[in-house]
Amino acid sequence: MKTEVELANRLGQQKFRLLYSDTDIEQRIEILAQEINRDFAKAEPLVIIGVLKQSFIFIADLVRKLKMPIHIAFMGASSYSKTQSTGIVNITQGLASDIAGKDVLLVEDIIDSGTTMKALLKFLADHKPTRLKICSLFVKPSKMKDFATTIDYVGFVLDDVFVVSYGLDYDQKFRELAHVIELLDLD
Ligand code: 5GP
Ligand code: MG
């Protein structure tokens, strides 16, 4: 209850619904990290490719629970304007390091239609990693029409809702909030 009051103070007139508390997120990431630690125990190193900028908090929390040596690289991709995917993906930042022959984990904040992920996978496959797995904090299966790729590590499965906080924004707002909320009555 205290959490909801704090959020209401912060959000003012904006209607919202609390979906996952900071504790829910932490517990879920602990389980994801255990799975990744098991699957990539022998990686030396595991190259984590984070997709900016929404995944920055997730990556920071996830990597601190990993046990193998890691390298980190970041990519940028954009297809969204406010709350709608435009369907066209721009790779705004490519790869600075060589991933050929390496174990790679691509870390996303959210997979909605899958358009962005499809473009990233195509880009990365051309760079010939030995193993490429995908981790996303959120997925929206009902929106992934023609995207059949298995997401190896999924934090939370969402309905067709628009979520913010924990790195995810609405028009650059709300990234810093610790509890994941659905924004309601958006135009
Ligand atoms: P896709 O290409 O899968 O349709 O969209 C992926 C990108 O859209 C995500 O990486 C994210 O940037 C943005 N996105 C999709 N759904 C949401 C959402 O519910 N909240 C926020 N803040 N961004 C979203
Ligand atoms: Mg993203």
pLDDT digits (tens, 9 = 90+) for 61-100: 999 999 999 999 999 998 766 666 667 888 888 888 889 9
Predicted TM-score of the model (pTM): 0.93
Look up tokens 């022959």; give the residue: 101
Residue 84 buriedness (CB in 10 A; 0-12 / 13-18 / 19+): exposed
pLDDT at 103 over 70: yes
Tokens standing for 60?
């920071």
In the reported structure, the alpha carbon of residue 48 is separated from the centroid of ligand 2 by a whole-number distance in angstroms of: 14
Q: Contact at 8 Å (CB) between 170 and 84?
A: no
Q: In the structure, what pLDDT confidence band is assigned to residue 187 with cuts at 50, 70 and 90?
A: confident
pLDDT value at residue 97: 83
Catalytic residue flag (residue 112): yes
Q: Contact at 8 Å (CB) between 106 and 118?
A: no
Q: In the structure, what pLDDT confidence band is assigned to residue 139 with cuts at 50, 70 and 90?
A: very high
Instruction: Give the number of whichever ligand sits closest to the CA of residue 111.
Output: 1
* Calpha distance 76→95 (Å, rounded): 9
Around ion ligand 2, residues with a beta carbon closer than 5 Å are: 51, 54, 109
147 CA: nearest ligand 1 atom:
3
pLDDT value at residue 81: 64
The answer, yes or no, to whether any atom of ligand 1 lies below 6 A from the CB of 116, is yes
Q: Is 17 helix (H, G, I), strand (E, B) or coil?
A: strand
